[in-house]
Amino acid sequence: MEGEWRKVKELVQIKGGKRLPKGSSLQIKKNDHPYIRVRDMEGRYLPKKGLEYVPDEIFPKIKNYIVEENNLLVSVVGTVGLISVVDTFFHNASQTENCTRLAGLDKQDALFLYYSLTAPSGQREIELQTVGAVQPKLPVYGIKNINVRWPEKSQRMAIAHVLGSLDDKIELNRRMNETLEGMAQALFKSWFVDFDPVIDNALAAGNPIPEPLAQRAETRRQALASGTANRESAQTFPASFRFTEELGWIPEGWEIGQISELFELHRGFDLSAKKRTYGLFPVYSAGGIHGMHNEYKMDPPGIITGRSGVIGNVYLSLTRYWPLNTTLYVRSFRKCGPFYALHFLRRLDLKVYNSGSAVPSLNRNYVHASETFIPSNEALEAFEVLLADLYKKIKANDEESKQLAKLRDVLLPKLISGELRIPQAEKMVEEAVA
C-alpha cells in the first residue's frame, strides 16, 4: 500500500472528554444524553445495552463535550488503546474524560483510521506514546504524534470497505442471534409463564378460565380469531387449569415439586490463573467468561450461574467449557432439558437465595428445595425440540463470526501495511461472506 506516513495531528482535531460535576451521578433512566464510558467500548461501534445517561439538569454543564457521528474515541487512561467509531445513535452523546475523540473525518476515513489504529502497527504506536507505570495514560501530545500510513483516498475507501464488510457480517450475525434469543425467551414466557397454549385449548373447548388469567385470555381470543395462535403446538398441553395452595392456578395434570426434580446445580471446579494455558475452551466465573483454557470439564449445552461474588446472571455455553469454583453449573437434567433449565433460571430471582453477608453467595440447597410446577413430559419435549433448532442457528452464526473475525484479523495488518493488494483481499472476503 503506497502512501506517506502522517501524524494523527495532521488528520484530525483532538478533543478531550469531561467528567460529571462533583456530586453528580449518571442515571439508568433513558433520556437524550447517553454517556460513553471506557467500559462501553467493545469494538468498532459502541453497544447500546447497559448504557447510563446524563441527567437533563446536569447536561447543560457539560454540553460542550459531546461527540459527533464519525468521530473516533480512544481510551486514554487505565485501559489504553481501545478504539470505537461514533455512529448515528451516539451523535451528541457525552464522553468520559478517560476518552479522547478524534474529529473531522468523513465515514470512510473514520473507518480507515479505526482499522489503522486497531492494527498491530497502530497498537504499537499507541503503546510507544503511552506513559505511566502504575496508571497507564495516553496524553494528548502522544495521540498527536501517532504515525499512520495514509494512502490516496480511493485506497483508504477500498480498505475500509473490505474490512468493514467482514465486520458488517459479524454484526448482522450478532443481531440475528439477538432476535433468535428473543424468540426463545418469548416462547418460554408464552408456554410456561402465561400458559397461552392451555388458555387456547380451554377457550376452544369452552372450559372456564380462572379469574387471574382472564385478561390474558382476552388477548388469546384475539389471537385465535386472527389466526395467529399456534394451534399445533397447543396439542401437547391440557385444556383446563387446577388450583393449588402452593402456586395458585397451574395447568391440569402438571405436578407440584421441587426445583431439584427438574435439574441439579453443582459447584464448579478449581483452576487458578497460574495453571491456565490459553486454548479453545471458555472458562466461566461468576461474572461470565473469564478467559480461555486448553482443557474443559463439561460438554455443551452448559448452564452456568454465579455461586460467589456475583449472583443472578445465568450463562449458556454452546461449546465445551470449564466452570470455575465461583459458579454453579447444571450437572444433570432430570425431568427437563437444558433449554428449559436455562430460561427457568433466567426468570428466577436468584438473589433471594443469597446466604452471604459481606460476599454474595448463592445457596444451591435453597434453590433445590424451592417449590415449582413440573410441566408434562410432552410439553417439555416439544419445547426442547423447538429451542434446540433455534440454538443450533445461534451456534452456527457464532462459528461463522469467529471465522470472519479470524479472516479480518489476518487481512487487517496486511492491508494496512500494503503487503496484500486490495483485489486479493476483496476476493477472499467475497468468498467468506457469500
Q: Which of 321, 346, 333 shows the shortest CA–CA distance to 384?
A: 333
CA distance 145 to 168: 31
Per-residue cell: 9: 495531528
**Whole-structure pTM value:** 0.87
- Phi-psi group of 82: left, alpha or beta (phi > 0 → left; psi -120 to 50 → alpha; rest → beta): beta
Per-residue cell: 391: 440454538
- Across the chain, mean pLDDT equals 94
CA distance 357 to 359: 6
* CA torsion through residues 10, 12, 13, 18, sign: negative
Burial string for 333-365 (b: 16+ CB within 10 Å, else e) reads: bebbbbbbbbbbbbebebeebeeeeeebbbbbe
CA distance 133 to 60: 36
pLDDT at 357: 78
CA distance 327 to 265: 10
Ordered structural domains, the chain, with CATH: 4-151 (3.90.220.20), 259-374 (3.90.220.20)
Residues with pLDDT less than 70, the chain: 1-3
Structural element, H or E, at residue 356 = none
pLDDT at 3: 65
Task: Give 20-49 pLDDT, tens digit per residue.
Answer: 898 899 999 999 999 999 989 888 999 888
pLDDT at 70: 97
Contact 250, 242 (CB under 8 A): yes
87 contacts: CB under 8 Å, gap ≥ 6: 45, 46, 69
CA distance 433 to 421: 19
- CA 304 vs. chain centroid, Å, equals 16
pLDDT at 2: 58
CA distance 98 to 289: 25
CA distance 142 to 92: 26
Strands (DSSP E) found in 25-81: 34-36, 52-53, 72-75
Contact 360, 308 (CB under 8 A): yes
Helix (H, G, I), strand (E, B) or coil at 282: strand
CA distance 21 to 6: 37
Task: Give 46-61 pLDDT, tens digit per residue.
Answer: 988 889 999 999 999 9
